[in-house]
Amino acid sequence: MELRDGDIAKLDDLRSALQQMGRERGRLIPILQRVQEQLSYLPPAAIELVAEHLQIPASEIYGVATFYNQFRFNPPGRHPIKVCLGTACHVKGGDIILENFERKLQIEEGQTTPDREFSIDRVACVGCCALAPVAIVGETLYGKMQPSKVEGIVLRVRIEKEQQERDQCGHEPSPPADLPATPAGS
Amino acid sequence: MSPLPQQTYQRLRQEADRRRREFAEFPGPRIHIGMATCGIAAGALETRTAFEEALTEFDIPARIHPVGCCGHCYAEPVVIIDHPASGFPPIFYPEVNAGKARMLAKLFLKEGDPRLEHILGATVANDLVPSVMEFPRFNLERRMVMEKCGRIDPEDIHDYIAEGGYAALAQALPRLPAAIVEEIESAGLRGRGGAGFPTGRKWALARDAAGDEKFVICNADEGDPGAYMDRTLLESNPHQILEGMIICGHAVGAQRGIIYVRAEYPLAVRIVTQAVCQARELGLLGRAVLGAPFGFDIDVFQGSGAFVCGEETALTRSIEGFRGMPVARPPYPVQRGLDGKPTIVNNVKTFACVPPILENGTEWFRAIGTPSSPGTAIFSVVGSVVHPGLVEIPMGASLRTLIFDICGGIPKKKKFKAVQIGGPSGGCLSEAFLDTPIDFDSLTRAGAMMGSGGMVVMDEDACQVDVARFFIDFTQKESCGKCTFCRIGTRHLLGILERLTQGQGREGDLELLGQLSQDIQTGSLCGLGKTAPNPVLTSLRYFREDYEAHVNEKRCPGNMCRPLIAYYIDLARCARGCNACEGCCPVDAVFITRDRKRGIDQVKCVKCGECVTACPPEYNAVRRVSPPHLAPVVERPPMGENSSKLEAESSTKLG
């Protein structure tokens, strides 16, 4: 995926921030975590920067980064959706929740919607097993999920975004027909 | 001359006591809110805001005291209100949402009515309100490691010191390191990470290992899906873990400690990092711990989410900046670990056990639990139980006590089927094992494992083949790929199990599963591969009939495997005009039959089960069957006819 303008500025920040950090091998994972914190994923350009800083080949960094689940190589959506598939969530039907998000957004787990609004990931356990099944959308955790709640959650995020855009533009409220069309029955 | 650790500690204690008195002498009510991840997930932040707003609005001079998690997850968000002026003892309120918070602020804090219909009980024995200690969920527990969780503010070191925290460290520092190691050894403490290696022996090996530089690592890479006690401890009482680590550092002669905590636990990372800073400020970490000639410091390292990094050699490789792949032992990390230096790797709970042991003595510790496994065990009991949550019980208690007495048994009058212990490394035990005592050796003999303490209870609707598939799917993804049997063997196990759950099982599959499982156990280097087939082996042994039904009849006895089930609507029970199932169906598979009842289009149905939840209990018309051909066929009426019926129906409703 192409870098966005904001990301290029962040890469410059990163270059200067790296100068403050140690160059020993043990710093590799903390540095990658820092990069991902700032850019929300590890673009190839950032890996090159880290490789140069630590004086190890980029291939070696990819070797380490792909080993760990935390690192991602494509940008997440603005509202990342994480569906918990730990034991308790599995027993209570977490995979059905995941499927419903996939169907609703027409993407698969690990992918991002073309408008970069949503991405879907599975997580092993978020440690809220008593609330199973659990899904996290953006920063909000939804416990005791049900398949029929999925549509409402997605719609709420879309309406909130619409609302924000309207507030920012200062336009008059647009007629309901302007609401983003959600594919019916998909 | 530098002051003795005891004297330095006394000064810290006086300061903490002063702050505690100030809090205790405050005349107004005090509100304790459980604010760990689970509480926040259940809405504790909203509860707190609601209290704050209500206190301002009704002008009540009360204090809010954020505490950690007390383990009662079924009752989250938990609030304890201590309102001395009302004449009532401190009262435990479960499930306090924003509305309830406002109501309590007005009626209890302002007007003095504790609204007894909303309480769980008082936290102390008294004459007015029944105490929670009368309930088995409370009085059968034995809290040692989690004693202070939910009572203190994890973000305030003084709160921990006022409860007697760091006293064990002050006592330990003037003593000889060898004496401390000996005390831990004679207490019989076994590592709480799952395997149960004697902690004292590990410490003795590290102390005797050559080298000036040694490391103490706290393993908080809790990757087991379904276990969250380490997270709770880090979020609710981080200082007890730090104290254990510092004592360990003194005992084995290490200068540096590292807490390896999962990056997926952002709150735990924040709280433990803050705890380390506070400990440094008070001189509990640094060049001279409590003024003693002993320097020790702790760093927090965030693990990046690889299950195999719970294995000690993989964990140290990960800290060094490499892929977290286990290496052959010996040499053990206590001889050559991080950067080739002697390294102690212990679990969070192991370190948390150390201060209480030193404070109360080995006799006290050995009196709890069984002779071979003294002390307590913490389980996260989840799944089909009435009161899920964290439970700390003495070792040796039976599974029946834990599941039925403490956690309230199976909800909805369903029957108990299985309990999965120890996560992906453990096994599924059947009803016959309910009276097995819980300790390291008995569980291993039964084919399960203490593991990290995750426990998932399953009722009659659970399918053991699907559960085994779930765990193999997990270990197959998390296998680091070093050993062929673990890398490829788990892949094949998964393939066979997937076939079974899709109704494509073949004769001979079960024998193949057993054989392959044994080969993986023999051919793997680390604990991940050696224990990965446990879920398959135990379920094959104890629930063979489940497997046979999948292979021979293409039937899922638990009605869980979706390719093997079908939903249909019992037309004798379905009510005309009710639209609940049609409204909730995410794929529009529900249609209107000729006589205006509802039917399910089997081609469109994705078997999510939402219509079962939606169907009103007085009709209870949606049925689930396995194998799918048992579902009666209901024809969908042609389009035109259907729509005219619909119009007729809506016009009658309007009329």
CB contacts under 8 A, B 543-582 vs A, are: none
Same domain membership, residue B339 and residue B226: yes
Going by the DSSP 8-state scheme, the letter that residue B340 receives in this structure is G
Same domain membership, residue A83 and residue A61: no
Does residue A71 lie in a domain region? no
Which residues are CB-neighbours of B624 under 8 A, at least 6 positions away? B559, B565, B566, B567, B609, B612
Same domain membership, residue A95 and residue A59: no
What is the bridge-based pairing of β-strands A118-123 and A79-84? parallel
Return averaged pLDDT per consecutive 10 residues of chain B, 655 residues in all.
80 94 87 91 92 94 92 92 92 95 94 92 91 90 93 95 95 95 96 91 95 95 87 95 97 96 91 97 95 95 93 96 94 94 96 96 95 94 91 95 95 93 90 92 87 88 93 94 96 97 94 96 94 95 95 93 94 90 91 91 92 92 94 83 52 44
CATH number at residue B583: 3.30.70.20
Does residue A41 lie in a domain region? yes
The pLDDT assigned to A51 comes to 96
Same domain membership, residue A48 and residue A91: no
The pLDDT assigned to B331 comes to 92
Does residue B107 lie in a domain region? yes
Distance CA B640, CA A86 (A): 46
Q: How many CB atoms lie within 10 A of CB A174?
A: 12
- Give the end of a domain, one of A38, A65, A92: A65
Same domain membership, residue B278 and residue B262: yes
Chain B environment of A129 (Cβ under 8 Å): 73, 226, 228, 380, 382-383, 388
Same domain membership, residue B185 and residue B311: yes
| Contact criterion met (CB below 8 Å) for B224 and A127 | no
Same domain membership, residue B472 and residue B388: no
The pLDDT assigned to B425 comes to 87
Distance CA B36, CA B457 (A): 24
Does residue B147 lie in a domain region? no
pTM given for the model: 0.91
The pLDDT assigned to A182 comes to 45
| Contact criterion met (CB below 8 Å) for B472 and B494 | yes
CA distances in angstroms from B643 to A103, B419, B629, listed in the order given? 27, 50, 29
Chain A environment of B454 (Cβ under 8 Å): 87
Can the peptide bond before residue B77 be classed as cis, meaning omega within 30 degrees of 0? yes
Same domain membership, residue A116 and residue A161: yes
Same domain membership, residue B395 and residue B332: no
Beta bridge partners of B457: B383, B419
Interface touch B609/A93, C-beta < 8 Å: yes
Distance CA A133, CA B271 (A): 26
Same domain membership, residue B293 and residue B222: yes
The pLDDT assigned to B430 comes to 94
Same domain membership, residue B127 and residue B257: no
Same domain membership, residue A90 and residue A56: no
Q: Is B220 in a helix, a strand, or coil?
A: strand
What is the bridge-based pairing of β-strands B79-82 and B91-93? antiparallel
Does residue B256 lie in a domain region? yes
The complex's ipTM?
0.88
The enclosing H or E element of A97 equals helix A94-105
CATH number at residue A92: 3.40.30.10
The CA-based diameter of chain B, rounded to the nearest angstrom, is 99
Same domain membership, residue A104 and residue A154: yes
- Give the end of a domain, one of B416, B444, B462: B462
CATH number at residue B529: 1.20.1440.230
Domain count, chain A: 2
Domain span at residue A9 reads 5-65
In terms of Cβ atoms closer than 10 Å to its own Cβ (0-12, 13-18, 19+), residue B381 is buried
Same domain membership, residue B302 and residue B200: yes
The pLDDT assigned to A124 comes to 80
Same domain membership, residue A41 and residue A87: no
- Give the end of a domain, one of B426, B443, B462: B462
Same domain membership, residue A96 and residue A167: yes
Percent helix / strand / coil, chain A, rounded to 5? 50, 10, 40
Distance CA B535, CA B541 (A): 10
* Closest residue, chain B, to A34 (C-alpha): B302
Same domain membership, residue B391 and residue B319: no
- Give the end of a domain, one of B139, B166, B186: B139
Rg (CA), chain A: 19
Distance CA B399, CA B575 (A): 44
The pLDDT assigned to B640 comes to 62
Same domain membership, residue A98 and residue A170: yes
Domain count, chain B: 5
Does residue A135 lie in a domain region? yes
* Closest residue, chain A, to B74 (C-alpha): A130
CB contacts under 8 A, A 87-126 vs B, are: 87-88, 90-93, 96, 99-100, 103-104, 123-126
Return averaged pLDDT per consecutive 10 residues of chain A, 186 residues in all.
73 89 93 93 94 96 95 91 90 91 92 91 81 88 89 91 85 49 41
**Which tokens hold the place of B158?**
């003084």
Does residue B357 lie in a domain region? yes
**Which tokens hold the place of A74?**
């494509």
Burial profile B91-109: b = 16 or more Cβ within 10 angstroms, e = fewer: bbbbbbebebbbbbbeebb
Distance CA B467, CA A22 (A): 45
The pLDDT assigned to B641 comes to 58
The pLDDT assigned to A28 comes to 96
Same domain membership, residue A47 and residue A84: no
Domain span at residue B424 reads 376-462
Same domain membership, residue B224 and residue B298: yes
Beta strands per DSSP E along B264-375:
297-303, 343-347
Same domain membership, residue A148 and residue A91: yes
The pLDDT assigned to B110 comes to 92
For residue B587, give the nearest of A84, A102, A110, A119 by alpha carbon.
A102
Distance CA B165, CA B268 (A): 19
